[in-house]
């Protein structure tokens, strides 16, 4: 990784702005250890991811008052859309009206699964 791109570090992880951002401020949180899947992260690496996500989301909120929320996501495996096989977590800032209907959030990765009735209780 080009160290000039690194915007923050925490423990065994670092963060960079995504080269193909979904929204302005889209950040990748990446473990230094080369692993393909989040399932291989150690507890310490997970803690570093968590700390960076909290720190960077707070920084983004402070810098950009148009941010109203975040998606935090991982593409794990080819079937899930992973194209870079070095585990990483996406921190994606969201803004009011950035999509017509944000309800369902990450559920929209599968077409037609993001929308569901607002008054429906999930089965338990």
Catalytic residue among 26, 34, 50, 88, which? 88
Where residue 10 falls among pLDDT bands split at 50, 70, 90?
A: very high
Per-residue CA distances from 91 to 3, 61, 72, 74, 119 (Å):
19, 12, 5, 9, 29
- Residue 124, pLDDT > 60, answer no
Confirm whether 88 is a catalytic residue. Answer: yes
Which domains are present in the chain? 3-109 (3.30.428.10)
Of 116 and 48, the structure prediction assigns the larger pLDDT to: 48
In this structure, what token pair is assigned to residue 98?
């950035």
Q: Which tens digit of pLDDT belongs to each residue from 28-80?
A: 999 999 999 999 999 999 999 999 999 999 999 999 999 999 999 999 999 99
Task: Examine the pLDDT at 123 and tell me if it is beyond 80.
Answer: no
């Amino acid at each position: 990784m080009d160290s000039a791109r690194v915007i923050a570090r925490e423990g065994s992880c670092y963060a960079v702005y995504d080269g193909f951002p979904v929204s302005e401020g889209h950040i990748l949180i990446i473990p230094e250890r080369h692993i393909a899947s989040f399932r291989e992260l150690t507890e310490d690496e997970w803690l570093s991811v968590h700390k960076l996500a909290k720190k960077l989301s707070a920084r983004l909120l402070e810098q950009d008052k148009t941010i109203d929320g975040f998606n935090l996501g991982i593409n794990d495996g080819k079937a899930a859309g992973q194209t870079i096989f070095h585990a990483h977590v996406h921190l994606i800032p969201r803004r009011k009206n950035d999509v017509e209907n944000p309800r369902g959030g990450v559920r929209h990765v599968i077409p037609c699964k993001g929308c569901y009735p607002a008054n429906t209780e999930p089965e338990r």
